[in-house]
Amino acid sequence: MTAIVEKATGRFIKSISAPDDVVEMNTPEGCLAVEDPPEPNMYYQDGWVAMPAQPTLYHIFNYDLKDWIDPRTLDEIKAQKWAEIKSGRDSLEFGGFEFEGGVYDSDQVSQGRIMGAAVAGVDQVWTLADNTTVELSASQLQQLYAALQAHIASVHERGRIARQLIFDAETKEQVEEINL
């Protein structure tokens, strides 16, 4: 088996299994035919060289530099970071919250149930996120609803702060440092 590689960059083009004269005819100008095709993620430089690990899914290998580069623009990186922040914000909002020592569900259905229970004004037995139960008075249910609203407001405030930091960032590195 013979590998065809670009002379200038060492980029693997294709492999071919044929007699030498056929290999020669199928070797484009500017390319080199070498024995033993590479393993995945290798380039040719006086022999096969393993590429360094790909830093992220967004990186592509630059054969001239022999390194991974992120081809995204700053605006594309900002958009991706904002999508990550929104996803994290939703996970936090809907992932539960603490009230009086217990962890309560806060998914959309649970938010509606908490609101309804607070408005109903009657005592209830409530199931917590770990499936244990607790008796809550009508007053505690109103406090539970207030705690839910405070939880949601806190999570969204963190999201707004992150969004502003993303907007204000001037470099890729500044964007990458932003967390929820």
**47 conformational bin, left if phi > 0, alpha if psi -120 to 50, beta if neither:** left
| pLDDT for residue 168 | 98
Whether residue 150 is predicted with pLDDT greater than 90 in this model: the reply is yes
Hey, where are the domains in the chain? 2-69, 74-176
Q: Average pLDDT of the chain?
A: 96
Q: How many CB atoms lie within 10 A of CB 130?
A: 10
Burial category of 133 from C-beta neighbours within 10 Å (exposed 0-12, middle 13-18, buried 19 and up): exposed
Outline where 12-137 has alpha helix (H).
Answer: 20-25, 74-94, 108-120
Per cent of the chain over pLDDT 70 is 100
pLDDT in tens, 95-137: 999 999 999 999 999 999 999 999 999 999 999 999 999 999 9
- Copy the structure tokens of residue 145: 């609803």
Rounded-to-5 percentages of helix, strand, coil across the chain:
40, 25, 35
Whether residue 4 is predicted with pLDDT greater than 90 in this model: the reply is yes
Nearest to 121 by CA among 139, 99, 100: 139
pLDDT in tens, 79-106: 999 999 999 999 999 999 999 999 999 9
Whether residue 37 is predicted with pLDDT greater than 90 in this model: the reply is no
Whether residue 178 is predicted with pLDDT greater than 90 in this model: the reply is yes
What angle do the packed helices 138-168 and 74-94 form, to 10 degrees?
170
Contact between 120 and 112 under an 8 Å Cβ cutoff? The reply is no
Q: How confident is the model at residue 5 (pLDDT cuts 50, 70, 90)?
A: very high
| pLDDT for residue 115 | 98
pLDDT, average across residues 11-39: 93
Whether residue 36 is predicted with pLDDT greater than 90 in this model: the reply is no
